[in-house]
Amino acid sequence: MPMQRIDTQDELRRMLAAHRELGHSVGLVPTMGALHAGHASLIRRAVEENAVVVVSDFVNPTQFNNPSDLRNYPRTLDQDARLVEMLGATFLFAPSVQEMYPAPDTRVFNLAPLDTVMEGARRPGHFNGVAQIVSKLLELVLPDRAYFGEKDYQQLLIVKQMVRQLGLPSQIVGCPIVREADGLAMSSRNLLLSPECRKAAPSISAALRNALPTLSAQGVDAAKQKIANDINATTALRVEYVEMADPETLAPVHEYAPGHAMAFVAVQAGSVRLIDNWKY
């Protein structure tokens, strides 16, 4: 059956109700479009594990604290639709801003302590905006499973916390980072990189990958410093932060224990901000 492109909540509800009457399981892959191989891996897994798959394609304004970032975010809906259909999803949900926010969303979520560090500390309101749109999508689709990439690892933990708080029935499934052949974590923002910055960007994952010997021998602070130094050695890149945290709680890690440390970085590459993470 060909994929159907839907742009209203009412139509999506009607279509899903018919599938639920037949006992079909439903998977959701929430995206902001500009789809790449990382998104494709989420969609493939959803198609494997569910009878019906909804891919949402919506650039959510409430999670942008920088207006120019929202304005410049890549939008490739027609190309996205072709990929989603090729991968076997059932529905592409591509609503307007007015459709998702007919009135301002004034809800404030309690996301502490997960939103008080790293991205949460540096992008005020970002994760509250994520919680607003993801909760809307989960309540609309009521999926058995919803799929999120681990590149946005902090977001993944926050969505899981929000789902517990709201008592939503969906299982949140984290999926591994997909990387380019040169190691760069796939991101829609990669489309915005200048040639110079794109050439330099693999230094981020290389610095993360190469930090383990220092972490094991010299400890957390030395490893964080090495990661920062290795990335900053590339003139096109500037480290915003390097943090070492517990992968379950995001609490800072001060002493290394294998399997209980994860490095998180944010890096400015020209006008584009990139994030990545690595578990040790």
Mind telling me the catalytic residues?
39
**Could you tell me the two tokens for 84?**
């989603």
Which residues in 207-231 are b (16+ Cβ under 10 Å) and which e?
bbeebbebbeeeebeebbebbbebb
DSSP calls for the chain: ---EEE--HHHHHHHHHHHHHTT--EEEEEE-S---HHHHHHHHHHHHH-SEEEEEE---GGG-S-HHHHHHS---HHHHHHHHHHTT-SEEE---HHHH-SS--------TTGGGSHHHHHSTTHHHHHHHHHHHHHHHH--SEEEEEGGGHHHHHHHHHHHHHHT--PEEEEEPPPB-TTSPBP-GGGGG--HHHHHHTHHHHHHHHTTHHHHHHH-HHHHHHHHHHHHHTSTTEEEEEEEEE-TTT--B--S--TTS-EEEEEEEETTEEEEEEEE-
N-terminal to C-terminal alpha carbon distance within the chain: 43
209: left (phi over 0), alpha (psi -120 to 50) or beta: alpha
